[in-house]
Amino acid sequence: MRLKLSLLTSGPVVGLGYGLLWALLWPTTQPDWTLQFGLRFGVLLLSPLRYWSWLISAELAVAASIEYWYGSDWHSFVFWDLPQPLTVALCLGLLRRANLRPSMRDPEEVSRLLLAGGFIGAVATATDALMMALLNELPSNGLLEGFGNEVLGNYVGLLLIVPPLIMLWRIRPSKQEISELLMDGLLVMLPALVILLILTEQAAPQREFARILSLAPVLFFAFRHGWRGASLSMLVSSLGMAVVDRVFTHVIPTASSHMFLAVAGTGALMLGSATDALRRSSARMAEQNVYLAAVNRRLDHLARQLRDAARGNMQAEENQRRHMAAELHDELGQNLTAIQTHVKLAQTRLKQAGMGDIGTSINDILAHMRRALHRVMDDLRPAVLDEFGLMRALDEGPIRDLLATAGMIYHTELHGDPRLLEDDIRTAIYRLAQESATNAVKHSQASVFRLRLRIGERAGAALALLDIRDNGVGLPHRVPRGGRGLQGMRDRVTSLGGLFRLRPDGQGVHMRVLLRSSISRPETSDL
């Protein structure tokens, strides 16, 4: 298998195959249409440099055989057939060193390739003109017209042959793309060729209209199949027009018709490559969107994990606070009660011994310790929240006492059933209200403190909207983010997956908190 492959890719075999193709295209040569130039340019562009000597030798051998067959002398071969392939090979070798690549991935590469082909075609035509001048066969009139026609013929040959060679040699279409091309060829290109044949048999205006109409399927293939479809449709359409002109109408193609073919083919290739580039960009964008969606899902998952961890930590902290409050109540509170009881029993003896003031001092100290203990226990776990429920705790509990002591008016507006909320949500609402009231007393210099709580159901979940505001001096220009104040409230709301908004009003501070909870079973004790 490897031996067969090495034989097929050997220099003599490649040169022989190229020579046969070059000979087959020789009868198609027209004054304004040179497919052989396109074949020479495409094969030299795509093949490795080690094959070039075999390719050029095969072409020259075929050209010499043709000249001999038609009885031409050696001058015709030396001055006509020999210079052009050597000139093309020299120019193309220099351009390949300048990083000219056989690629049509985007319009920039297509334009670079076509400009290189046009330049080499012009140089080859100038070489032919120089040979004619050496032979004194340069025509006295129509020099520029002949030069332009030959350059145009070389460019059209390059336009028709090079893109299909690149497609077959470097960027082969898949089976699905081939089937789609064949299907569209039968449904679009074949009817277009039939219409072209019918119109070209008419008078001159219809014939010119047929050539313009032949551009429609080319544009269709460029949009649908990219530069591959544009190149193949241009090749089929131009061959169809050539066959119609030669066989049916016997009209010799003019330079204007080939100029139209060159312009239309260039535009179609540019349009097809732009379509392919746009599709690749859309595909990359879709891949990036899929990747970003996966990343966003991962980030959402991590955010949920962080919220769950923070919520678990908060629940563990509240449980620890509840446990510590219970321990303080059971142990230290009972011990204080026992001490007060013993002091009361010993009060008579102390008075008889003239130490009644000592008993009074001890009772005062114990009362102070009990009040301090109650404050610590309330900070650890608000007993009023367990005893009265959320609504009464907010309306009648220590928050009102704190604000009344500071000389502030306390307005509440409470709606909804707090039993719909989870226990940690209810605790968080009370903690937020308690912290806000403490901040207002310490910093705001306000006279009015307003608290509004609305609890309701939406989309199978319980929502709690807490709105707190005062009419104090407001927030400073730079709100501190550390400590246990505002940042602690933000962290508490974030751990519960809620929204925290804090903004200064025209006067005072306005805080809005939205918390979502899965609907709990109502408990009659939490009214």
Q: Could you report the per-residue pLDDT of 501-510, keeping only the tens digit for each?
A: 887 656 788 8
Sequence-distant (6+) residues with CB within 8 A of 372 are: none
- In the chain, domain spans: 1-172, 388-526
CA atoms within 13 A on the CB side of 223: 5
Residue 362 confidence class, pLDDT cut points 50, 70, 90? confident
Residue 414 identity: L
Average pLDDT over residues 458-483: 77
Q: For 388-526, CATH number?
A: 3.30.565.10
Euclidean distance between CA atoms 223 and 42, whole angstroms? 24
pLDDT at 466: 93
What is the mean predicted confidence (pLDDT) over 111-134? 86
Strand order in the sheet with 409-415: 409-415, 448-458, 461-470, 509-518, 499-504
**Pick from 272, 200, 199, 194: nearest CA to 233:** 272
Rounded CA gap, 78 and 88, in Å? 16
Between strands 461-470 and 499-504, the pairing is unpaired
Spatial distance between the Cα atoms of 309 and 220, rounded to a whole number of angstroms = 58
Rounded mean pLDDT of 94-105? 88
Q: Is the pLDDT of residue 480 over 60?
A: no
pLDDT in tens, 237-273: 887 777 766 666 666 666 677 787 888 889 999 999 9
Which residue do the tokens 């909207």 mark?
465
How many percent of the chain have pLDDT more than 90? 16
Task: Yes or no: say if 159 and 266 are a contact pair by the CB < 8 Å rule.
Answer: yes
Res 483 pLDDT > 50: no
- pLDDT exceeds 50 at position 332: yes
In which band, very low, low, confident or very high, does the pLDDT at 183 lie, cut at 50, 70 and 90?
Answer: confident
pLDDT band at 465 (very low <50, low <70, confident <90, very high): very high
Choose the most confident range, by mean pLDDT, from 132-141, 184-193, 383-392, 413-422: 413-422
> How far apart are alpha carbons 461 and 478 in whole angstroms?
36
Residue 118 near residue 95 (C-beta atoms within 8 A):
no
Q: Got the DSSP string for 65-93?
A: HHHHHTT--HHHIIIIISHHHHHHHHHHH
* Rounded CA Rg of the chain: 47
Q: If you ran DSSP here, which 8-state letter would residue 353 be given?
A: T
In this predicted structure, what is the pLDDT of residue 410?
A: 93
Residues 110/273, Cβ–Cβ less than 8 Å: yes
Pairing type for strands 499-504 and 448-458 reads unpaired
Q: How confident is the model over 386-423, as pLDDT tens digits?
A: 778 889 888 888 888 889 988 999 999 999 988 888 88
Q: How far does Cα 408 stand from its chain's mean position? A: 55
Q: Write down the number of H helices and E strands in the chain.
A: 21, 5
Residue 32 has pLDDT above 60, yes or no: no
Instruction: State how far the Cα of 464 lies from the Cα of 495, in Å rounded to an integer.
Output: 15
User: What is d(CA 436, CA 80) in angstroms, rounded to the nearest whole number?
Assistant: 98
> At CA 31, angle to CA 26 and CA 32, rounded to 5?
105
- Start-end of H helices in 328-470: 334-345, 347-352, 356-380, 383-388, 390-396, 398-405, 423-439
Using an 8 Å Cβ cutoff, are 369 and 380 in contact?
A: no
Question: Residue 90 has what pLDDT?
Answer: 93
Q: Mean pLDDT in the chain?
A: 80
Other beta carbons within 10 angstroms of residue 222's beta carbon come to 26
- C-alpha–C-alpha distance, residues 92 and 94, integer Å: 5
Tokens of 149: 């026609």
Which pLDDT score is estimated for 344? 75
Cβ proximity of 432 and 452 under 8 Å = no
pTM above 0.85, yes or no: no
